[in-house]
Structure 1
Amino acid sequence: MHASKGDRLVVHGRAVGNSDRVVEIVEVLGKDGNPPYRVRADNGHETIMTPGPDSVVDNRRGGERS
């Protein structure tokens, strides 16, 4: 997984009916764009996370995801 500051991280819901969570990557703490990442949710909460296999990076900053 490779990301840059400003990318979006999409964490897919694990159960039927759970929606995806989308957070903004505000800082890349790993080497060469690798995790861990400091992320910010829509409500302003920030945390450090190492995404699992249920996550993808959306490199289209500010764009819609598909």
Structure 2
Amino acid sequence: MHASKGDRLVTHGRVVGEHDRVVEIVEVLGPNGTPPFRVRAANGHESIMSPGPDTSVDHRKSGDQV
């Protein structure tokens, strides 16, 4: 998995009815765009994340239109 600052990580719900979780990458801590990532949730909480196989990278930046 490769990502850049400003990309979003989308962790898909594992069971029916569970929503996807979306966080923005604020810093790439691994070499050449690889995990771990410092991420920020919509509520402002920041954490370090090493995404699993249920997570995908959305390369649109946070200000881009959908």
- TM-score, with normalisation over the residues of structure 2? 0.93
- Unaligned ranges ≥5, structure 1: none
Listed one character per residue, the Cα deviations across residues 9-43 of structure 1 (whole Å, up to 9, x for unaligned) are 00000111000000000000000000000000000
Rounded to whole Å, the distance in 2 between the matches of 1:55 and 1:33 is 15
The share of aligned pairs that are identical, in percent, is 72
SS of structure 2 residue aligned to 1:6 = coil
1:60 aligns to what? 60
User: In the alignment, which residue of structure 1 is the partner of 2:4?
Assistant: 4
The 4+ residue runs of structure 1 with deviation greater than 2 A are none
Residue identity in the other structure for 1:38 = R
1:23 match: secondary structure? strand
Q: Secondary structure at the match of 1:57?
A: strand
TM-score normalised by length of structure 1 = 0.93
Indicate the SS of the match to 2:27. Answer: strand
Task: Give unpaired runs (5+ residues) of structure 2.
Answer: none
